[in-house]
Amino acid sequence: MIIIMLGAQGTGKGTVAGHLVKGLEIPQISTGDIFRANIKNKTELGIEADKYISKGELVPDSITVPMVANRLDEDDCKNGAILDGFPRTIEQADSLKEILAKENKKVDLVINLTTPREEIIDRMITRRVCPNCKATFNTKLNKPKVEGVCDFCGTNLVQREDDKDPKAIEKRLQIYEEKTSPLVEYYKNEGVLRTEVISTSINHLAKEAAEEILADLKK
């Protein structure tokens, strides 16, 4: 099963994906992890990607798409994967469709998370992440059992640098809306879109949404 996570930063994608990884026993794949692995292993694509990343530039599709294709070819993805951070554009979505079609596969589900903007900003400021296992917590909504420590691996939690400045968060949300939100319509037309509103105002958080999605997938 191929699942794509859509939604602006701070909507709870990490929490939902984490639950699905455990329940479906398929890996979560992020472009950030793929870039880091290729750069660390000094692959040909990794060397090329690092030239852009080191300058703070976006890695072009000619590098990103083959990296994703290679990752989906690995053994742990034989039963599917959860893609987070890819695709980001319509062009990447078309490329993904072609990659999967070669293996007689397709995108089975696209989970689109939406949250009021003011809630997103507050969540990102109070978000804490595990630098080791990538688990996500929140000092208000999803506290770790021991303050500042990951529940799963015991590593000290950190606040991402880009979560500290509200103005920077606003800019990231604007970029998301301009570049990635058109994918919502794209996958709606494909008939695989599921939108979940994640908000304290309706008492529906990422954990509850994940449990509902998992239950539906296992029917």
DSSP secondary structure of the chain: -EEEEEE-TTSSHHHHHHHHHHHHT--EEEHHHHHHHHHHTT-HHHHHHHHHHTTTPPPPHHHHHHHHHHHHTSGGGTT-EEEES---SHHHHHHHHHHHHTTT--EEEEEEEE--HHHHHHHHHTEEE-TTT--EEETTTB--SBTTB-TTT-PBPB--GGGS-HHHHHHHHHHHHHHTTHHHHHHHHHT-EEEEE-BGGGTB-HHHHHHHHHHHHT-
Residue 128 bears catalytic tag: no
Q: Which one of 13, 71, 123, 128 is the catalytic residue?
A: 13
Q: Which one of 71, 127, 128, 134 is the catalytic residue?
A: 127
**Which residue in 99, 112, 37, 52 sits closest to 73, CA to CA?**
99
Residue 88 bears catalytic tag: yes
Residue 36 bears catalytic tag: no
Residue 13 bears catalytic tag: yes
Q: Which one of 40, 140, 160, 164 is the catalytic residue?
A: 160
Q: Which one of 71, 88, 123, 134 is the catalytic residue?
A: 88
What residues are annotated to the active site? 13, 88, 127, 160, 172
